[in-house]
Amino acid sequence: MTVSDSRNVFVNLVMRVPADGNMPILSRIKPWSDAVVYDGEFELLLGELDALRRLAISEDELGIVGEIETAAERCVRDGGLELHFLGD
């Protein structure tokens, strides 16, 4: 499954996450580097995505969060998968 974000909607939303340590998975995602979410981290990621949804201010932001939630839910369901975020 691939989620395309050619307009950087998701990464721009993630950059608004407060750097207070409450979203350790999302804080690893940067526009200039790659990040990987590993099996065993998806439940935490899903909780962080739920909190991220509250920071969304546009339909595009809500849509991309929903797509990534769907990918993370598939990873939980199927097990043994990784979710890769590719930076520039």
Condensed to tens digits (0 to 9), the pLDDT of residues 53-66 reads 999 999 999 999 99
Predicted confidence band of residue 70 (pLDDT cuts 50, 70, 90): very high
For residue 88, pLDDT beyond 90: no
- Sign of dihedral through CA atoms 41, 33, 56, 64? negative
Query: Hey, what long-range contacts does 40-47 have (CB within 8 A, 24 or more apart)?
Result: 42/72, 42/73, 42/75, 42/76, 42/83, 43/76, 45/72, 45/83, 46/72, 46/73, 46/76
- Could you give the CA distance from residue 70 to residue 73 in angstroms, rounded to a whole number? 5
In the chain, the percentage of residues whose pLDDT exceeds 70 is 100
Span 76-88, average pLDDT:
93
pLDDT at 29: 92
